[in-house]
A and B are shown apart, each in its own frame.
Chain A
Amino acid sequence: MSDTQPQVAEQGRPRDTDRKTRVHLSTFDRFKFIIFFAAIFMVLVWADMSNNPILSFSDAFKENLNSRWWLLALAAIEIIRQLHFLAAEIVAPYHGAWLKYFSTVDRNLHRLSDWNRYRLSRVIKGFLFICLIAVALGAYYKQTPVTALFLAPKALWSAMPMLAQLAFAVFFILIQFFAMFWFLSKGGIDTYFPDDIRTRFSDVWGQDHVLNRIRENLLFLESPEEIEKHGGYVPGGILLWGPPGTGKTLMAESMAGETGKPFVFVDPGAFNNMFFGVGVLKVKSLFRKLRKLSLRYGGVVAFFDEADSLGNRGISTQQGRYSNSDTSCHGGTYLSEGATALIARKRFGSEKFVANTAMSGGGGGMGTLQALLTEMSGLKKPRGFFNRVVRRTLGLRPKLPPKYRILIVLATNMPEALDEALLRPGRIDRMYRVGYPSKAGRVRTYKGYLDKVSHSLSEDEVDKLATITPYATGATIKDTINEALINVIRDGRTTITFADVIKAKQFKELGPAEDVEYIERERHAVAVHEACHGVMAYLMRHHMSIDLATIEKGSDYLGMVASIPPDDQFTRWRTEYEADILVSLASLAGERMFFDGDNSSGVSGDLESATTVASFMEGHWGMGSTISSHASNRRFEVGAPGGAKGKDDGARELRRALADRIEDNLSSLLAKAEMVLRDNKGKVLSLAHALEIHKTISGEDVVAVMEGGKGPLVDGAPYQSPENVALIERYHEAALIAHKGHEKPAVQIPTFG
C-alpha cells in the first residue's frame, strides 16, 4: 500500500468500556418516548373533546395541560434524560464522571456477598411491587394506599363465589397439564449435601494419576481467585471416560465428599421423556437449581452418570458390546486386549447397519442436548428482567451475573457417543481417561478388598495376582474376592487362600465348566488343538505368558489357552503380531499335521483372528510389503496398490491386491507354524497328554511340561523321558486310527507316576 492512500483503520468497533463518551443514540431512540408522551397527550385531549361538545381544541389542550401534569412531568424527565445522554455523548469528562459514579455504586453493592445481594434485591423488588399495587388500589378505592391494600382482599373475598367457579373451570383444565408437566419435569436429579457423602479420595484405589488431576480442579473450585487473579478461568467441566467398572462414579462421589460442596447427581434416564419439551424444562430447572446452590454454597458439583445417554445430534450412539462368543475354540482370549478390540470393531462393523436402524436417535433427544449445551455456555450472560431491561432503560449497562462455580462432571464408557459440541473447551475443559488400573493400582485394590476379609495371602502372592490380572478393574477385583469368599464359606472355612482367589478368577473369566465328557478321540483332538496353541505360545510369543490351558468345555468355547501380558506394555510390534498370528494358525497347522491333513471346523475363530490381524498389519500398520494405509485408500477411493490380477509383471508382483498380500503373509506364517510344530512334535503331544489327564492346567504347568520342571499340578519330569514320549505317540497313533474309523481308540491313555 502506498503512503498516499488513506490508511484503513484496522480497529474494530471500540468496546463499550474503552469509549470515552457514550455511544450515539439514533434519532428515533432519542425522541421515541417524547413522541409517545405527545401521542398520549393528544389522545387525552381528543377524548375530552369528544366528551364535551362545546369544548374547543385550544381549551381542551389547556385544560389537559393543567389536569395531566404528571404526563408533562414524565416528558420533562425524559427530556432531561435525553439531555443527560446527549451530554454524555459529547462531553467526555461528564460521561467519565458518571461511569465513575456507577462503578463506585457497583463496588459498594458488591461488598455484600452475592447471595445476600440476590436475596436483598428480591426483597426490595417485592416491596416495590406491593407499594405499586397499594398506590394503584388507593387510586381505585379513593382511599389511602395502606387502607386500600386491605380493602382489596375484602373485595376479592366478596367476589369469591363467582371467582371460585371461574377458577375451578380454569383450574380443572390447566391442572392436568401443569400437574403432568410438573411431575414429568421432576425426578432424576438428586442433591446430596456435603455431610451426606462419606466417600473420600482415599476410597478410590489405583487411579492416583486421575485423582491428582481432579484434586487440582477441586482446588480451583474451592479458591477460584487463585487462578482468576492471574487472568485465567476455572475449568468448569470434566469428562471421565474409560471401561466400565474402573471407578468413575466412585471418583465423582469422592469428589463430592472431598469438596464440601453440594453434589447434584443427574440420573442417566432423567432426560428421556415421553413429551417433547419436558427434557428441555428439566435441563432449565436443573441449571436454575445449580446456580442457586452455587451462590448459596459457593460452588456445586453436577455429575452426569452414563453421559452417553445425553445422546448425540448426528451419529447414533453405538450401543451393544462385542462378546467373545465363538463356539469353535477359545474366543480369542489368548489375543491381547488390543487385538481383541480390533476384531470386535471389525465384527461390529458388519452389524452396524442393523444397529443404526434399531437405535437411531438415542439419548435425551428432542432439544434436550441443545438446551444443555446452551445452559452450559450460557452461565456468563446477564440474567433477569431488572438487570437486562430496567438497568438498560436507566442507561446503565446490564450487570454480568455473579460467577457461578459449577463443576460439571460427565462419566461415560462410550465417549464416542457424546456430541462433539459438548466436549469443547469451555464446556468440558478436561478429559480424563479412567483406564484399567496400573499394576500398582491393582495391588492397592487387591489389598484394599482383601483387608476387608480374612485371608492368608502374602505380599508376593498379591503381587502375582495383580500381575496375572492385567485388565482387572476395581469392580472385577471386588467381585473376584467376593467369589473366593463365597467358595470359602461354602467349604466351611473362613480364610481365603491364594488358590481360592485363583479358582474364583478362573471361574469368573471362563464361567462354569459345562461338565460334558468328550468321547476319547474328540478329547484327544481338542487337547492336541490346544496343545498346538500352547506350545506355539510358549515358544514364539514372548510378550505374553500363558495364564492357563484347558479342554473343559465352557459355554462358548471347547477349550482354550489364555495368555496375559506380564508387564504393562503400551506399544505393539510387528514381531508380536506375527507371534499372535502364529499362535492362531498353530491349531490349523497342528491339526493338519497330526491328523494326516484333516482339520476340524474348530479353527474358524483362529483363522478369523489371524486374518484380521494380518489385514491390519498389511493395510494399516505398515507391517506388510506396502506402505500406504488401507484406511486412507478406502476413504479416498484410490484403491489398493497393485494392478489387476493375472498380470505377470515382475514390478507389479510386489504391488498385488491387498487380499492376495494378506493371504501370502498368512501362508508363509502357516508354513512357519508347521515347521515349528514339526520340530516340537513330542512337546505338543506331551502337553496334549497333560491336558487330557488334568483338563485344566495353569501357565506354570505348561512351562513344567515344556521344561521338565514341577508345576503346581503337573510334574514335567516324566515328559522328559523318551520312553514316555514314545508311549504318548503310540496312544496318538491309536487315536488317529480311531478318528479315521470313528471308533474307540485301541490303546488306553498312558499314565505316569
Chain B
Amino acid sequence: MMRSKSVLKLLSILLGVALLSSCAKPSKLYVADKNDGVFFATPSGWHHISQLALGHLESTSSAVGAAERAASVLWQEAVTPKATYTATDVLSLKTPDQPIVYGRVRSLLPDEVNSISYNSLRDLILPVTSWANGTIKSPLFDISNDEEYIQKGGRGVHTVFQFTGSDGSSQTVNQTSVLSNDHTTIYVLIIRCSTSCYNKQKVALEKIATSFTVRGK
C-alpha cells in the first residue's frame, strides 16, 4: 500500500510538472538561418519585421544596383522591440529611437568577389573607411570600436561607430560583416539606434552583437 501511495504521488507530480512546464517561456528570442548557418539572439519579447516586406522594399528601390542585390539575398531578418517599425524603418538611415537589429546573408555578385576587402566590408552601408581616413568629408563621426572578427564560417570586421545624419540626430551603428571562407557570401548583422538609446541599452545590444555566430554552410 505504501508503495502504491508513493507511486501515486510520483505520477501526480509528473502530471503536474508536465502541465505546468508547458507555460514556460524561453529567455531569448533566437533568430537563425540554419541553411546558411547564421545565428543571433535578442531579448525575448522583441518583434519580427516581415521578411517579405523587406525583400519587396529592396527590390523596388530606385537606388543603383539595389534590385540586383535584392535578388542575391539569401536570407534577411529584422527584429525590434518596437512593434510599429516597418521594413522602411529598417532599410532607411533614419535615426530610430528604439534599437533595430538587422541580419542578412547575401551571395556576392561576380565583380564583388574579386574586389572584396575588409574595407569594403566595413563600408557596406556607409563609407566608414573614407570618413575615418578623411578622404571624403564626413559628418559628425566617431569610430568607437573596429576589430577583426573571426568565426568558423568566415572572417570579417566588427565596427561600432556614431554619426549624425541629415536629420541632425546622432545614431550608433554596431555592424558586423563577415565574408565566408570561400569568398562567395557575406553575412551581416547591423544593430542601430540613436546614440542616447544605444548607450542606455549598451549591455543588451552588445550581447546581441556577441551572439552573432557564423557557422557557414
Which A residues have a C-beta under 8 Å from some C-beta of B?
A: 27, 30, 34, 51-56, 58-59, 61-63, 65-66, 69, 72, 75-76, 79-80, 82-83, 86, 89-90
Contacts and interface: CB of A to CB of B under 8 A. Distances in A.
Nearest to A87: B8
Contact of B26 (A62, A69, A89): A62
Given A52-B30, A80-B15, A86-B7, A65 B24 contact: yes
Nearest to A53: B213
Contact of B22 (A52, A66, A83): A66
7 contacts: A51-B34, A59-B30, A63-B30, A65-B24, A83-B11, A86-B8, A89-B4
The A interface is mostly helix, strand or loop, or mixed, namely: helix
A51 to B, nearest CB: 6
B79 to A, nearest CB: 14
A82 B11 contact: yes
Contacts of B40: 54
B15 A54 contact: no
Nearest to A48: B30
A90 B26 contact: no
Nearest to A60: B26
A209 B191 CA distance: 106
A75 B213 CA distance: 35
Contacts of A79: 11, 14-15, 18
Interface residues of B, number: 26
A66 B27 CA distance: 13
A34 B18 CA distance: 11
A54 B41 contact: yes
Nearest to A90: B4
B145 interface: no
Given A53-B39, A54-B39, A79-B11, A59 B27 contact: yes
Contact of A59 (B26, B32, B215): B26
A636 to B, nearest CB: 61
Contact of B24 (A51, A62, A69, A89): A62
A58 B41 CA distance: 14
Interface of B: 1, 4, 7-8, 11-12, 14-15, 18-19, 21-22, 24-28, 30, 32, 34, 39-41, 211, 213, 215
B17 to A, nearest CB: 10
A27 B1 CA distance: 14
A461 B24 CA distance: 107
A86 B9 CA distance: 11
A52 B212 CA distance: 11
Contacts of A75: 14, 18
B21 A65 contact: yes
Main secondary structure of the interface of B (DSSP, over half): mixed
Given A54-B213, A62-B25, 18 more contacts: A27-B7, A52-B30, A52-B32, A54-B41, A54-B211, A58-B27, A59-B27, A61-B24, A62-B27, A65-B21, A69-B22, A75-B18, A76-B15, A79-B15, A80-B15, A83-B8, A86-B4, A89-B4
Contacts of B39: 52-55
A263 B92 CA distance: 90
A672 B199 CA distance: 145
A752 B92 CA distance: 153
A64 to B, nearest CB: 10
Nearest to B12: A83
A66 B24 CA distance: 8
**Residue picked from B7, B18, B213, most chain A C-beta under 10 Å:** B18
Chain A CB within 10 Å — which of B11, B40, B215 has the most?
Answer: B11
B34 A52 contact: yes
Contacts of A69: 22
Lowest 3 A-B CB distances belong to which pairs?
A: A59-B26, A62-B26, A62-B24
Contacts of B19: 76
Contacts of B25: 62, 66
A34 B11 CA distance: 10
A111 B203 CA distance: 75
A54 B41 CA distance: 8
A202 to B, nearest CB: 69
A72 B24 CA distance: 13
B15 A59 contact: no
A65 B25 CA distance: 9
Contacts of B22: 65-66, 69, 72
Nearest to B28: A59
A69 B15 CA distance: 14
A61 B25 CA distance: 10
A559 to B, nearest CB: 95
Contacts of A30: 7
A573 B41 CA distance: 112
A55 B30 contact: yes
B197 to A, nearest CB: 24
B4 to A, nearest CB: 6
A81 to B, nearest CB: 10
Nearest to A58: B27
Contacts of A55: 30, 39, 41
A59 B21 CA distance: 12
Contacts of B34: 51-52
Contacts of A56: 27-28
Contacts of A51: 34
Nearest to B3: A27
Contacts of B1: 90
A66 B39 CA distance: 20
A76 B213 contact: no
A65 B23 CA distance: 8
B124 to A, nearest CB: 23
A633 B15 CA distance: 79
A54 B22 CA distance: 22
B41 A83 contact: no
Contacts of B211: 54
